[in-house]
Amino acid sequence: MSTEQQLKQDIICICRMLHRKNYLAATDGNVSVRLGDRLLTTPSGVHKGLMEAEQVITVDLEGQVILGEGKPTSEIRMHLLAYELRPDVAAVVHAHLPYATACTLAGIDLLEPILPEVVITLGGIPTAPYATPGTDEVPDSIREFIREYDAVLLSRHGAMTVGRDVRDAYSKMEKLEHTARVVLAARLQGPLPPLPAAEVEKLRRLGEKYKAGG
């Protein structure tokens, strides 16, 4: 199996996992992987739980279709911006997470350092301001966050994660939704105290070691 075929299979695997986990419904969400000077991406209007590898389309770094049938996802500009600003990124996942989206509706900020594993692996989870889906407002809304963070909540519109490959980006999405569930459950009991500043600094140093593979 060629590298391109394998990457297409990886995209399908992640799409099905997203659907099984209820991280998206029907045609919601999108996934892309960078392969040199082009992207492999899910097309618009296709049920992610029922997709097949031959439905993955290839676009250039301007978002124009090179190979395949259908149109690129309406959020392709969000993906393109991530690849432009982050040369370390090789995959982008956008999903409509129920609990994480609920946090944005309830005005709950996940950037507060509450859970140590989130500080270590993600640094934090900021929330981008609301932007009309499928428009240039979306990449504009995430620009200041995606330079620094691998996971960003999109107000009323789910979340976006990036990674060194599509499985890495998916894992960050899973961690984000798990965090949202924990925080929402705990908030039912009242305000949540953040971790002490000294502990956050210690965790951030561990995070740097974690990202370096140490």
Q: What is the DSSP string of 16-27?
A: HHHHHTTSS-TT
| pLDDT < 70 positions in the chain | 1, 213-214
Query: Cα Rg for the chain, rounded, in angstroms?
Result: 17
Q: What's the pLDDT score for residue 201?
A: 94
8 A C-beta contact, residue 41 and residue 82: no
8 A C-beta contact, residue 39 and residue 59: yes
Q: What's the pLDDT score for residue 213?
A: 66
Q: What is the pTM of this model?
A: 0.94
Q: List, in sequence order, every beta strand (DSSP E) within the chain.
A: 30-35, 38-41, 57-60, 65-67, 91-95, 127-128, 151-154, 159-163
Q: What's the pLDDT score for residue 42?
A: 97
The string of pLDDT tens digits covering residues 176-207 is 999 999 999 999 998 889 999 999 999 999 98
Q: What's the pLDDT score for residue 187?
A: 92
Q: What's the pLDDT score for residue 211?
A: 76
Least Cα distance to 95 among 16, 35, 33 occurs for: 16
Calculate the average pLDDT of the chain: 94
Coil vs helix vs strand at 183: helix
Residue 91: strand pairing partners: 33, 163
Q: What's the pLDDT score for residue 81?
A: 97
Which residues belong to the active site? 75
Coil vs helix vs strand at 141: helix
The pair of structure tokens assigned to 78 is 């969000």
The pair of structure tokens assigned to 32 is 């892309």
Residue 122 structural domain: 3-211
Q: What's the pLDDT score for residue 177?
A: 98
CATH number, residue 189:
3.40.225.10
In the chain, the number of structural domains is 1
- H or E element: which one contains 134? none
Q: What's the pLDDT score for residue 1?
A: 66
Give the Cα separation of 94 and 48 in Å (integer). 12
